[in-house]
Amino acid sequence: MSGGGGRGVLVTGASGGIGRAIAQRFAADGDRVAVHYASRKEEGEATLASLEGTGHVLVRGDIAEPETAQAVAAAAVEGLDGLDVLVNNAAAVIPHPLPETSFADWQAAWQRIIGVNVVGAANLSYCAARHMIERGAAGRIVNVGSRGAYRGEPGMPAYGASKAALHSLGQSLAVSLGPYGIGVASVAPGFTATERVEARLAEEGPAIHAQSPFGRVAEPAEIADAVAYLASPEAVWTSGAVLDVNGASHLR
């Protein structure tokens, strides 16, 4: 691991919601965090300002573009003096229910969602893992997937498909990278109370809460706790796992 100030951790899509909570959790644990955002600069800066400790950096880029994903990884490595943990949290979310969506919009949604959620994550994983291998240091990659990979996303089928692919990517990389001491695992959250879904929760709250026997949805910090565990040295034997974090709202 990187010397001084804990580990170097890149969290993509950290301008709010689950990504912000993950960045805050790693910083609270004494790690140095690269806060990634694509376009929400003010929100990214707010996340950076909220972090405990020092040595954190802000990195920007649309990871759907291969060259930009490579540049984001390089900026994190430089800014953190090495990268020990990658959290693939960034995700494109575009509603596109088939009966109501034009073919042009359907194509655009699939291209964008797969580009960010799968190809972007794959390219960042490549860059991060190559850096870890070259340094000869153990590392962790944690993917933020979704229960939607299993229960379906009828209003956003590309999103559900992308998260299933992300889980599978993590399992393939777990086998590939294990010999180098790099663990790869995923979390599959259920409905989580983020800014993105505030309006939907206000409108459909009781029905959504009823999906879990706990009668509520997750808080972002609860997902961050699971990510922090999977990225910990103690969790190396979870490599290849997909951890359901959905409050028993979907069982498989």
* Residue 41 a catalytic site member: no
DSSP letter string, 162-187 = HHHHHHHHHHHHHHHHGGGTEEEEEE
* Residue 87 maps to a domain: yes
* Residue 180 a catalytic site member: no
Query: Active site residue: 15, 146, 186, 249, which one?
Result: 146
Tens-place pLDDT, residues 172-217: 999 999 999 999 999 999 999 998 888 888 999 999 999 999 999 9
Task: Print the domain residue range for 205.
Answer: 8-245
Query: Active site residue: 37, 163, 239, 249, which one?
Result: 163
pLDDT > 90 fraction of the chain, expressed in percent and rounded: 92
* Residue 252 maps to a domain: no
pLDDT of residue 215: 96
For the chain, give the mean pLDDT.
95
* Residue 83 maps to a domain: yes
pLDDT of residue 3: 41
Tens-place pLDDT, residues 45-98: 999 999 999 999 999 999 999 999 999 999 999 999 999 999 999 999 999 999
CB-based contacts of 237: which residues, under 8 Å, 6+ apart?
none
* Residue 1 maps to a domain: no
* Residue 207 maps to a domain: yes
pLDDT of residue 2: 41
The domain total for the chain is: 1
Q: What is the CATH number of the domain that holds 73?
A: 3.40.50.720
Q: Read off the pLDDT of each residue in 26-38 and give the average, rounded to a whole number.
A: 97
Q: Read off the pLDDT of each residue in 95-112 and give the average, rounded to a whole number.
A: 98
* Residue 159 a catalytic site member: yes
Tens-place pLDDT, residues 129-188: 999 999 998 999 999 999 999 999 999 999 999 999 999 999 999 999 999 999 999 999
* Residue 55 maps to a domain: yes
* Residue 250 maps to a domain: no
| CB 91 within 8 Å of CB 144 | yes
Q: Which of 140, 141, 137, 135 is nearest to 122 (CA)?
A: 141
Query: Active site residue: 159, 162, 186, 249, which one?
Result: 159
pTM of the full structure: 0.95
Start-end of H helices in the chain? 17-28, 41-50, 66-80, 103-114, 121-135, 148-151, 157-177, 198-209, 220-230
